[in-house]
Structure 1
């Protein structure tokens, strides 16, 4: 009797390996990127963000399959992601010199959720690396992806004229610069 696939949402679900958790985590991140796409699409001023998210959407699934399957993240993908980061950093570099609360417009908040999902993906990838070799490029790409979502969120708030709110931790005091050189 053929197995009825309607009762199976994911074929590897019962595996004990951390690879499954990484794949589920990156699937969640990819879904959140799709959600962010739907929100930035509503604002004509965010066409560049929309285009970048549409570029990153399939890349997140390439990341997803790169542990169990063939490595699908290449050096040129990492370089492209770095270029995207630099583009947004050029605009928001002064705003991100301190810790910011993850808030703002709907689109910025969706990007903050993407950032959080990317960080969870890094952690899941770390767990996989305790069980098997993981190419360094996957760590680099996933860490950078989290940072791209962060600068995108701040960029979106900037364009939508939403003020960033700095966060001052009571748990981890921030070191203040001693002189003008350290402020740079």
Structure 2
């Protein structure tokens, strides 16, 4: 199978149910999810390097779900059943709750930082928020569960960043209030 098809050479791309301009908001949303999934790949690598196999395993599940999520976004005529369901969001919530119970209660704002995996996960969290904004810009044909899932995913990634710091013995970076450079 060739990697190139030449089908997009004139500014259009295929989706499930037709073709869209590459500048269409739906393609922007699909692209934002793809960017997020690439960042997840980087976080998986970091988790492997830091021997956080539980986190890398969970992130592999999320990566596969994001691939399905992108396919759901490309389902413009709703010709096939959606792959992402309320059950996926419920699983994220269960993981958030389980991980949160294993950590100290959150008592302050956290800045991005810590171990390499936590840093990568904070990038993932911001990419998830960007993808959520792109999905919410779509005016029609969006399965409601897609909006819920992507919103919950950023909370999950924040929680995983905290967990990565805990498991590597690194303290979360606390927001310390207004700061100024010394003159």
TM-fit CA distance, 1:20: 0.7
Q: Which has the higher helix share?
A: 1
Query: What is the alpha-carbon distance in structure 2 between the residues aligned to residue 26 and residue 67 of structure 1?
Result: 9
TM-fit CA distance, 1:134: 2.1
Query: What is the alpha-carbon distance in structure 1 between the residues aligned to residue 6 and residue 168 of structure 2?
Result: 43
Over the residues paired in the alignment, what is the CA RMSD in angstroms? 2.2
CA, structure 1 residues 23+169, in 2 after alignment: closer, same or farther (shift >3 Å)? farther
Deviations 1:79-106 (A, max 9, x none): 2122111121112351x33321101111
Partner residue, 2:50: 43
Partner residue, 1:11: 13
Which of 98, 101, 112 is the matching residue for 2:122?
112
Query: What is the alpha-carbon distance in structure 1 between the residues aligned to residue 85 and residue 8 of structure 2?
Result: 32
Which of 104, 111, 121 is the matching residue for 1:101?
111
TM-fit CA distance, 1:168: 4.7
TM-score (norm 2): 0.80
Q: Which has the higher strand share?
A: 2
Residue aligned with 1:11, SS: strand
Contact 1:92 1:151 in 2 (8 A): no
1:29-40 map, 5 Å: 29-40=36-47
Which stretches in structure 2 are left out of the alignment for 5+ residues?
Answer: 15-19, 179-183
Partner residue, 1:175: none
Query: What is the alpha-carbon distance in structure 2 between the residues aligned to residue 23 and residue 57 of structure 1?
Result: 14
Which stretches in structure 1 are left out of the alignment for 5+ residues?
Answer: 171-184
Partner residue, 1:64: 70
TM-fit CA distance, 1:56: 0.7
Deviations 1:134-171 (A, max 9, x none): 2221111101110110010011111111112222555x
1:127-146 map, 5 Å: 127-128=137-138, 131-146=139-154
CA, structure 1 residues 60+97, in 2 after alignment: closer, same or farther (shift >3 Å)? farther
